[in-house]
Amino acid sequence: MRTAQIETVRSLAPEVGAVGGMPDAVTIYEVGPRDGLQNEKGVIPTAVKAEFVRRLLDAGLDTVETTSFVPQKWVPQLGDAAELIGQLGDLATGPKRPVLVPNMKGLERAQELGLSSIAVFGSATEAFAQKNLNRGREEQFEMFAPVVEQARAEGMWVRAYVSMCFGDPWEGPVPVSQVVDTCQRLMDLGCDQLSLGDTIGVGTYAHVHHLLDGLEDVGLGTDRIGVHFHDTYGQALSNTMAALSRGVRVVDASAGGLGGCPYAKSATGNLATEDLVWALEGMGIEHGVDLEKLVATSVWMAEQLGKPSVSRVVKALAG
């Protein structure tokens, strides 16, 4: 029934027209299984998570962050990380299947399972470093340094997230210089890619430009930068357009707009992958995703979670 509805409405695909100054292709970095599910209240069976990942891959998403190697008591929802990787087998171990790793214990767990790609996750603010990592902003670099060093020495790909790049619920506005300093210090550890996190979704179009200006001034060009916008204030897609217009080619998104951070007040879902795909398609930007399959995946996942997807495109195509 739902599939039939999707097929009917798919004739309303966006008119395609190229826009100057935008990239030809974008890599969608899918965070649904990790950021999307880390904050869910109910228990999601490991088999459902594995099926979610398989369906995302089948829909054409290539880079999929699968889970986190953090203590179960910190994020109970992802406490089955090892089981999930076991169920996914080879699908979880390639270079495009990163997992979150905060410390050496997390790295050891990931390496034991043969994973080849990790993401450390720092904070631009003191308050969130304390809440999310149980240590100060300065101390976080000491925790990450040996992780990045060992991972790189063993040929792993390493991403560095920076949270609270656009505002912090405890500290308020976060100076661009403080964000740039955090980004620079994490990248100086040897990370391959930076992801700018708007954890609570307060950033706006102009703010994105200002931050990218600041990063460019210290030599951090958009070729090494991804963007990670939560959509709390409805700005995620607009902010993504700002980033793309500056040459960013890696965009984090979450199928169905799932997501949130258990340690950040007012963090809601990420930019919905479907909403991003619709916009990219309209601009003729390559993304590799089959929108119909992706919408069907989010409809299926919404049924598993017992609540509708918040993605506008999912609602429009399958509502």
Q: Which stretch binds ligand HMG (CB under 6 A): 42-50, 105-113, 182-190, 283-291?
A: 105-113
Q: Which of residues 256-295 bind ligand HMG (CB under 6 A)?
A: 261, 263
Catalytic-residue membership of 165: no
When binding is defined by CB under 6 A, the residue of 3, 8, 134, 177 that contacts ligand HMG is 134
When binding is defined by CB under 6 A, the residue of 117, 199, 222, 268 that contacts ligand HMG is 199
CA distance 223 to 107: 26
Residue 140 sits in the site that holds ligand HMG (CB under 6 A): no
| Residue 25 CB-density burial (10 A; 0-12 exposed, 13-18 middle, 19+ buried) | exposed
Q: How many CA atoms lie within 13 A of 249 on its CB side?
A: 15
Query: From residue 225, how far is each of 69, 184, 241, 249, 269 by CA, in Å?
Result: 23, 12, 14, 8, 21
Measured from each CB, the residue nearest to Mg ion is 35
The set of residues, in sequence order, having a beta carbon less than 8 Å from that of 260 and lying 6+ positions away, is 35, 38, 39, 230, 267, 268, 269
CA distance 196 to 178: 13
Beta pairing, strands 27-30 & 63-64: parallel
Question: Looking at beta carbons only, is 179 or 318 nearer to Mg ion?
Answer: 179
Measured from each CB, the residue nearest to ligand HMG is 197
When binding is defined by CB under 6 A, the residue of 105, 142, 175, 206 that contacts ligand HMG is 105
Residue 106 sits in the site that holds ligand HMG (CB under 6 A): yes
Strand partners, 28: 251
When binding is defined by CB under 6 A, the residue of 27, 68, 116, 125 that contacts ligand HMG is 68
Please choose which of ligand HMG, Mg ion, none residue 66 contacts, taking the beta carbon within 5 to 8 angstroms, the exact cut-off set by kind: none
Query: Footprint of ligand HMG on this chain (CB under 6 A)?
Result: 35, 38, 68-71, 74-75, 100, 102-103, 105-106, 109, 121, 132-134, 161, 163, 197, 199, 228, 230, 261, 263
